[in-house]
Chain A
Amino acid sequence: MSSPKTLFEKVWDAHVVRPESSDTPAVLYIDLHLIHEVTSPQAFSELRQRGLKVRRPDRTLGTMDHSTPTTPRNALGIIPVIDPQAINQLDQLRKNCAEFGITLFELGSLNQGIVHVIGPEQGLTQPGMTIVCGDSHTSTHGAFGALAFGIGTSEVGHVLATQCLLQYQPKTCAVRVEGQLQAGVGAKDIILALIAKYGVGGGTGHVFEYMGSAIRALSMEERMTICNMSIEGGARAGMVAPDETTFAYVAGRPYAPQGAAFDAAVARWRRLPSDEGAQFDREMTLDANHLAPMITYGTNPAMGIPIDAPVPTLADMPDAPSRQALDAALAYMGFEPGRPLLGHPIDVVFLGSCTNSRISDLRTAAALMKDRKVAAGVRVLVVPGSQRVKRQAEEEGLDAIFTAAGAEWREAGCSACLGMNDDKVPPGKYAISSSNRNFVGRQGPGARTLLASPLTAAAAAVTGCVTDPRTMIK
């Protein structure tokens, strides 16, 4: 009998075209390559220069998300793109996809949306696959038990031309989250707490496999939130073993296998979970029972605290570099060490991004905001992750709840997550954001970002300040 294997090892082994040797990395086959307008143009230029074709247009798919506006449609039902550079980027993607025969989810079409939202939504993301995209949050797709990770533009070119990547096998890390979450605490709080515990470089060189009772109890969308932010913990990818929750989610989606083919696929997918006794290189743990809603106070995602805790002081820091980092972060954020964040005024609330813009995130936020009003002076942007999420939300009347409260209901895209379009947080202003990065200037020059769950963001929208959402839910 062969030795027990982890989920990661099973997926890796099934995609090795040529094994790693002492002189060369492994040649790894890629099942699905997602592309978008920002990280692909230079790769297509490279292909043209070398006179190469896209090897597998049938394994490649493009969408528009990063530089697209999310402003409401005009009278003709068109999302107007005004920024000339964005127009150019989108045109290039259209041209590249047309010339190389790649399916493109066009801006404003029902299929378009953030690349990590549309993959799972369309059933393109399936257990056991290898998935890459020129985007670090490709780790999201690992929620299905796929090996999914972000690559640079040179590598986008490699995959376009050969459907393969040169890779050294990463190490594995078991991330055990046991226990039961309290009401008002969710997947986003799990991942923020984990990163706060192990640091932004904690997972470097590793692929996380999330396991334990708290993970098993999560829906697919919640698992995606967790896998999404694996990269914020430094990991190359994050994975969750597929189970009945996974199969039920994939079933019936447009690109998923149907009928007998689906049953056969499920039979294969059932063999993917890590074997009993499989060895991991490392282990991390988190207790879900005592978790509070989390919020960040600083300028990297590991600078997070339970929402009712004070901001750390220099004395809490283990070494000089972390004291320096804390000092710089607090100066940028305008926070005092040792003081609580609760009650701190907020200017902008951003509900969106590939971390938290799916239908369940919008439902959670809407449930809290129903029959309540956005606090005076607060701008609330609600940006669905995809056009399908938008339509679903509208069918459920969620848009009406948001707009009645005084929030803006937008078109799908990355929006204020990275501030590439006009959706930005003004300099010096405070934003509670359901996104994944609070880096200096991430949401616009001088923007001060507090990362939190969609529920915590919704609570702040209503009160106008940092608020423990547990005090606002029935």
Chain B
Amino acid sequence: MEPITTINGKAVALPIENIDTDQVIPASYLKVTDKAGLAEGLFQAWRYLPDGSLNPDFALNRPEALGATILVAGRNFGCGSSREHAPWALQGYGFRAVVAPAFADIFRNNALKIGLLPVTIDEESYHELLSHIEEDPATMIEIDLPNQRLIMPGGRAVPFPIDGFARHCLVHGVDQLGFLQQQEDAIAAFESQHAVAVNTLQPN
């Protein structure tokens, strides 16, 4: 995984609450066995018109939003299914971070695993950010991960929480599976004293 320290990018806003993962990527795109083609299905119902052409009114399709790398969205972003296809699609499209007042748990976990940064900011800053983007659709913001702050267009720094371990992994490009593998001795010791009544290889 590529290390992430600072993300400087154009922001695009989808100020809707409870954007669910079926909106981010509908089930018809989940038939892949790799990650190919997912970006194409991102926000499908909103992004395309019934005839398949791009919907010019959708925020991501406006010319000013081209090249945006930071998505700003409403509370409880990513609720619904556990499909990692949702963060894959966002990342495949070119997003490097999602900023919202709150995230659904599984989405947040999934995003952190693949290096799509979920940035939780307070409601007030969220609304301030929205008005900046409304005024200037080419608004640039900076996300400084090591110092856990988002720099608003006016220069104000907004702190955001992220657990120390995830931050460490993202900043250094450390992969979490590697960390788990290093726990082998502890896992083996645990297994030797932990009885499980189930054996999936044979019914009792």
Please give the residue numbers on chain A whose beta carbons come within 8 Å of chain B beta carbons, in ascending order.
14-15, 17-18, 22-25, 27, 29, 31-32, 38-39, 41-42, 45-46, 50, 57-61, 66-67, 83, 85-86, 88-89, 92, 101-103, 122-124, 126, 129, 134-136, 138, 150-155, 157-158, 161-164, 166, 168, 170, 200-201, 204-205, 231, 234, 236, 254-258, 261, 265, 300, 321-322, 324-325, 328, 418-420, 437, 439-442, 445
Q: CB distance A200 to B76 under 8 Å? A: yes
Contacting pair B33 A89 (CB below 8 A): yes
Whether the Cβ atoms of A41 and B33 lie closer than 8 Å is yes
In the complex, which residue of chain B has the Cβ closest to the Cβ of A332?
B45
Residues of chain A contacted by B184 (CB below 8 angstroms): 162
Instruction: Kindly state the interface size class of chain B when it binds its partner.
Output: 35 or more
Question: Which of B33, B45, B76, B82 is close to A150, meaning CB atoms less than 8 Å apart?
Answer: B82
In B163-193, which residues have CB < 8 Å from any A CB?
163-165, 168, 176-177, 179-181, 183-184, 186-187, 190-191
Residue B5 CB within 8 A of the other chain: no
**Chain A residues closer than 8 Å to B113, beta-carbon distance:** 152, 154-155
Q: How far is the CA of A445 from the CA of B71 in the complex (A)?
A: 24
Contacts A200-B18, A200-B79 given; does A23 touch B176 at CB 8 Å: no
CB <8 Å contact, B16 and A124: no
Closest to A33 in B: B200
Residue interface mask B73-96, A partner, CB < 8 A = 1: 011100111111001000000000
- Interface assignment of B6: CB less than 8 Å from any CB of chain A: no
Given contacts A136-B81, A420-B27, contact A441 B45 (CB under 8 A): yes
Q: Which residue of A lies closest to B31 (CB)?
A: A85
The residues of A that contact B102 with a CB separation of less than 8 Å are 201, 204
**What A residues does B84 contact at CB under 8 A?**
39, 42, 134, 152-154
Residue in A closest to B200 when the chains form the complex, CB atoms: A61
A59 with B196: CB separation less than 8 A: yes
> Which of A17, A66, A86, A254 touches B186 (beta carbons < 8 Å)?
A17
| 0/1 string, B142-181, CB within 8 A of A gives 1 | 0000000000000000000001110010000000110111
Give 28 pairs: A residue, B residue, CB < 8 Å, sorted on A. A17-B187, A17-B190, A29-B187, A29-B190, A57-B200, A57-B201, A66-B27, A85-B31, A85-B32, A88-B33, A92-B33, A150-B82, A151-B106, A151-B109, A162-B180, A164-B180, A164-B187, A166-B179, A168-B163, A204-B104, A205-B105, A256-B204, A265-B197, A325-B16, A439-B22, A439-B80, A441-B22, A441-B23
Determine if B28 and A419 form an interchain contact, defined as CB atoms under 8 angstroms apart. Answer: yes
B55 at the interface (CB under 8 A from A): no
Query: Are A42 and B34 closer than 8 Å at their CB atoms?
Result: yes
Known contacts: A39-B82, A86-B31, A162-B183. The answer to whether A255 contacts B22 by CB under 8 A is no
Q: Are A134 and B82 in contact (CB under 8 A)?
A: yes
Beyond A152-B84, A161-B180, A162-B183, 20 additional contacts (C-beta under 8 Å) are A22-B164, A38-B30, A38-B31, A41-B33, A42-B34, A92-B33, A103-B200, A124-B200, A151-B106, A152-B83, A154-B114, A155-B113, A162-B177, A204-B102, A255-B204, A322-B17, A437-B22, A439-B80, A442-B22, A445-B45
Question: When the two chains form their complex, are residues B34 and A45 in contact, meaning their CB atoms are under 8 A apart?
Answer: yes
CB distance from A13 to the nearest CB of B (A): 12
- Report the bound CA distance from A109 to B192 in whole Å: 35
By a beta-carbon cutoff of 8 Å, the part of chain B in contact with chain A is 15-18, 20, 22-23, 26-28, 30-35, 44-45, 74-76, 79-84, 87, 102, 104-106, 109-110, 113-114, 163-165, 168, 176-177, 179-181, 183-184, 186-187, 190-191, 194, 196-201, 203-204
Among all A-B residue pairs, the 8 with the closest Cβ atoms: A152-B110, A85-B31, A41-B33, A201-B76, A152-B84, A150-B82, A154-B113, A254-B203
Interchain nearest-CB distance for A440 vs B (Å): 6
Please tell me if the beta carbons of A161 and B20 are within 8 angstroms of each other in the complex.
no
B33, B75, B83: residue with the most chain A Cβ atoms closer than 10 Å: B33
The complex places the Cα of A126 from the Cα of B79 at a distance, in Å, of 28
Whether the Cβ atoms of B20 and A439 lie closer than 8 Å is yes
Known: A152-B84, A161-B180, A420-B30. A204 touches B22 (CB 8 A): no
